[in-house]
Amino acid sequence: MRELLRFHALYQERVWGGQALATALGRTLPPGRPIGESWEIVDRPEAQSVVCGGGFDGRTLREVLASHAADVMGPGWRADRPFPILVKWLDCRERLSLQVHPPAAVAAELQGEPKTENWYIADTVPGAQLIVGLRRGVTREGFERALRENTLEQCVHHFRVAAGDSILVHSGQVHAIDAGNLILEIQQNSDTTYRVYDWGRVGLDGKPRQLHVEQSLRSIAWSDYEPAPLRAAPTSGVIADCAEFRIRRVVLGAGERLHFRSREEARLLSVVSGAVRVVAEGAGSRAPTGQKLSRGDNALVPYAGSFTAAAEGMSILLVTEGFSPGAGA
């Protein structure tokens, strides 16, 4: 398999969204609508990525995996098994709800799915913040009292962020993204979110959005206090490492190259700054001049392909790995 898999974006309206994906990433969005999320790579019953270009053009990710599971994901990957990662861009023009995803220990009982996710901050406005975890010393009893008294903000951990920062948010950690953040979210393939508090806001229909207080209280990790983000750095390194995936930040100067060797593992390549040209290695490549990936682009690097990514200027890439059978072999 000598081609990257690239996909059409699936745009989602959200009450807290805006139009930053157009201004920051050069996307063409539905005009005047609050677009909060762009689902870049997804394999779910309710949402399917469709391949853009190449030999699989027009086919869904599910169809590609059904017919080429071993080439894309590696030996032993069942053709009916969903792709395990969901990649999104988030335009948080306004603050998101305070929410939590159920940990594996309670997810099945609540008929939900666990979701660990990583946020990479691509852009912020001055003073922008994230909310992750509880303030030190907050108990469940105090949290529930603050919920009744509408003073919950004092119970959660706020911290400022800048472009290039990131944080790994585990299932069970209460969290919210504050206004003014443009974020690349790389997560488990899950869409279970329990809203515990929505800051008194109404939805796009003008009515208060549904809350899931009971489920949230059962899911929150009550000993999770004040986690710290990983701050931006000018060097390459691992920015997230968990059971579900690993993410490396790769910083390339102009002309520097990153190699993906065949039959190691499937990977995801996300360009968060600059641009690269990716060429498939080996005779008979269908795209000898390669594909250009610019800021905001995401691609699936298949298990059975060899590729070289060459930076066209100073560039920052995120490489997500550790989610397929070959990982760590």
Give the strands of the sheet with 275-280, arranged side by side.
257-260, 307-311, 275-280, 291-294
The Cα 235–Cα 204 span in angstroms is 42
The Cα 184–Cα 21 span in angstroms is 11
**Contact assessment for residue 171 and residue 215, using Cβ atoms and an 8 Å cutoff:** no
Using DSSP, state whether 187 is helix, strand or coil: strand
Q: Please count the other Cβ atoms lying within 10 Å of the Cβ belonging to residue 253.
A: 10
Q: How far is CA 65 from CA 36, 143, 146, 305, in A?
A: 28, 44, 47, 15
**Contact assessment for residue 290 and residue 227, using Cβ atoms and an 8 Å cutoff:** no
The Cα 266–Cα 5 span in angstroms is 11
The architecture (CATH level 2) of 10-219 comes to Sandwich (2.60)
**Contacts of 248 by beta carbon, 8 Å cutoff, 6+ apart:** 236, 237, 238, 239, 318, 319, 321
Phi, psi of 82 (to 5 degrees): -65, 150
Whole-number pLDDT of residue 284 = 52
Sign of the torsion angle spanned by Cα atoms 56, 38, 298, 67: negative
**129 HSE (CA, 13 A, CB side):** 11
Counts of helices then strands in the chain (DSSP H, E): 5, 22
Whole-number pLDDT of residue 285 = 45
- List, for the chain, all residue ranges whose pLDDT scores fall below the cut of 50: 283, 285, 287, 328-329
Prediction pTM value: 0.95
Q: pLDDT by residue (tens digit) across 48-90?
A: 999 999 999 999 999 999 999 999 999 999 999 999 999 999 9
Domain 237-321 CATH class label: mainly beta
> CATH 2.60.120.10 in the chain, residues?
10-219, 237-321
Active site residues: 195
Q: pLDDT by residue (tens digit) across 174-196?
A: 999 999 999 999 999 999 999 99
Look-up of token digits 């760590």: 328
Which helix (DSSP H) or strand (DSSP E) does residue 267 occupy?
A: strand 267-273
